[in-house]
């Protein structure tokens, strides 16, 4: 009954949803050329043959999904994959990173008619949701069409688990038709088992299997010429408050290495002007990449407020701080810089990647720092000790490269679940 009420409410909310899309369009949060996709109207033709639909909410989920998509395509040369997400940033990044036989569309809003139009066009042979971005009409409409449902790398916060347990009448129905739930760690496995009788398994955290981010050789060469022999420190995927920490760390390390160049790559590049004003107010000489500036010998902080260049920045750097870890965001993926054999540093607030962070620390593949001062001291020591820096970077790369088997096993279990679903039909 509750889903019927929800579905009816969403039908009545058509004017509200249209207004929401117009507002998002005006604020630059939607692609005007592809806005119809948010109403379920495809802008690409469906390829012939079997098609798996993979959905991730935004950048993080889509990047996590890439390794799985690649393994699925490798297993079946006739398979095609549709990846959906809900943000402009993820769409732009995936445009450059998706392999052959994979395509991207924006996910429709959870209006029953828009969901039906989406499913009518794409007719997916499987629906794979990455992490936890589940919308009732989207899930239940796919289930009614007997499309096998998979939740891959499933995770929720403990608070979310508790809220979902209190709504067991809702949760039980939403998860009832899932053919397989692949939890991101054993704790998550137990959490999902408390919510549903659907099969829950654990093979590892898919984030561990992500391929290295792409680098642009031409852009890297230009940056290296501009930087010269200066040591480079990258504060990657920072959030408000962490740019101050990067600046303090820069000042501490620069006392020993006055030629230090610090790169700040904010998680949200539209904060570039705000960050520049903040750091210039602290007396630091800054330049912004989005304004086509290159670092000069006078540049202390280079603000990389662009999209799709993180791999190039990792390759350029001598040490990397992973953002979202000094403020309560949960920390971003520390394996991304590890693939580039760089010393990896992060704060203590790594809840979203806690298992990866703890394993990297144990493997001497990363350093946990307490605060901005600690970051500065660790950075200073690394820049003064080439052997330690090389060892930490080598350990990080070895650790990262050893995680690929997770995606192999996950793709195998998904294909088995899809095949079993077909046999039950």
Instruction: Give dist(CA 106, CA 378) in Å, integer.
Output: 42
Cα distance from N-terminal residue to C-terminal residue, the chain: 26
Statement: the pTM of the whole predicted model exceeds 0.85: no
Please list the ranges in the chain whose pLDDT falls under 70: 1, 424-425
Q: How many CA atoms lie within 13 A of 296 on its CB side?
A: 7
Q: In this predicted structure, what is the pLDDT of residue 366?
A: 98
Q: In this predicted structure, what is the pLDDT of residue 301?
A: 98
Answer yes or no: 61 catalytic.
yes
The domain segmentation of the chain, as residue ranges, is 22-209+405-424, 217-384
Say if 22-209+405-424 and 217-384 have the same CATH topology. yes
What's the Cα-to-Cα distance from 388 to each of 181, 251, 253, 261, 371, rounded to whole Å? 41, 21, 16, 20, 21
Q: Is residue 143 a contact partner of residue 113, using CB atoms and an 8 Å limit?
A: no
Q: Please give the distance of CA 296 from its chain centroid, rounded to a whole number.
A: 32
Angle (nearest 5°) at CA 230 between 224 and 235: 85
Instruction: Give dist(CA 329, CA 352) in Å, integer.
Output: 8
Instruction: Give dist(CA 201, CA 184) in Å, integer.
Output: 9
Decide: helix, strand or coil at residue 321: strand
Alpha helices in 228-294, H assignment, sequence order: 242-254, 272-280
Decide: helix, strand or coil at residue 134: coil
Q: Which CATH number fits domain 217-384: 3.40.50.300, 3.90.1150.10, 3.40.50.2000, 3.40.50.720?
A: 3.40.50.2000
Q: Which of 30, 37, 48, 61 is catalytic?
A: 61
169's enclosing H/E stretch is: helix 168-175
CATH topology of domain 22-209+405-424: Rossmann fold (3.40.50)
Decide: helix, strand or coil at residue 264: strand
Q: In this predicted structure, what is the pLDDT of residue 156?
A: 87
Please name which of 214, 198, 251 lies closest in space to residue 375, comparing C-alpha atoms.
Answer: 251
Structure tokens belonging to residue 212: 């290295």
* pLDDT tens profile 321-380: 999 999 999 999 999 999 999 999 999 999 989 989 999 999 999 999 999 999 999 999
Query: Across the chain, how many H-helices and E-strands are there?
Result: 18, 14
Instruction: Give dist(CA 289, CA 281) in Å, integer.
Output: 19
Q: In this predicted structure, what is the pLDDT of residue 425?
A: 59
Instruction: Give dist(CA 323, CA 264) in Å, integer.
Output: 10
Angle (nearest 5°) at CA 338 between 306 and 201: 105
Structure tokens belonging to residue 224: 């290296």
């Amino acid at each position: 009954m509750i889903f019927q009420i929800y579905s009816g409410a969403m039908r009545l909310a058509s004017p509200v949803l249209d207004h929401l899309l117009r507002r998002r369009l005006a604020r630059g949060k939607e692609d005007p050329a592809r806005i119809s996709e948010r109403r379920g109207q495809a802008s690409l033709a469906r390829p012939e043959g079997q098609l798996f639909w993979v959905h991730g909410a935004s950048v993080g989920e889509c990047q996590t999904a890439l390794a799985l998509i690649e393994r699925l395509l490798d297993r079946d040369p006739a398979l095609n994959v549709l990846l959906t997400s809900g943000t402009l940033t993820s769409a732009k990044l995936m445009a450059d990173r998706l392999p052959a036989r994979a395509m991207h569309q924006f996910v429709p809003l959870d209006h029953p008619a828009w969901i039906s139009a989406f499913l009518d066009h794409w007719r997916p042979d499987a629906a794979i949701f990455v992490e936890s971005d589940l919308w009732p009409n989207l899930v239940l409409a796919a289930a009614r069409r007997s499309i096998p449902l998979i939740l891959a790398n499933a995770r929720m916060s403990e608070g979310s688990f508790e809220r979902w347990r209190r709504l067991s009448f809702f949760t039980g129905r939403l998860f009832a038709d899932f053919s397989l739930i692949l939890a991101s760690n054993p704790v998550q496995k137990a959490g999902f088992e408390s919510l549903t009788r659907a099969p829950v398994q654990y093979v590892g955290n898919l984030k561990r299997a992500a391929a290295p981010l792409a680098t642009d050789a031409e852009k890297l060469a230009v940056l290296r010429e501009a930087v010269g022999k200066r040591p480079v420190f990258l504060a990657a995927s920072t959030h408000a408050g962490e740019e101050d920490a990067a600046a303090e760390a820069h000042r501490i390390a620069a006392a020993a290495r006055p030629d230090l160049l610090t790169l700040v790559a904010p998680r949200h590049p539209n904060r570039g002007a705000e960050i520049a004003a903040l750091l210039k107010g602290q007396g630091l000489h800054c330049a912004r990449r989005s304004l086509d500036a290159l670092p000069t010998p006078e540049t202390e902080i280079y603000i990389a407020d662009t999209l799709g260049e993180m791999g190039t920045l990792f390759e350029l750097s001598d040490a990397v701080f992973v953002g979202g870890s000094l403020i309560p965001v949960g920390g971003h993926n520390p394996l991304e810089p590890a693939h580039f054999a760089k010393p990896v540093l992060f704060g203590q607030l790594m809840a979203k990647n806690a298992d990866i962070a703890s394993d990297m620390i144990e493997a001497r593949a990363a350093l946990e720092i307490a605060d901005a001062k600690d970051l500065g001291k660790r950075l200073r020591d690394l820049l003064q000790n080439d052997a330690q820096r090389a060892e930490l970077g080598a350990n990080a790369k070895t650790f990262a490269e050893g995680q690929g088997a997770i995606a192999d096993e996950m793709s195998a279990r998904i294909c088995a679940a899809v095949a079993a679903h077909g046999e039950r039909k």
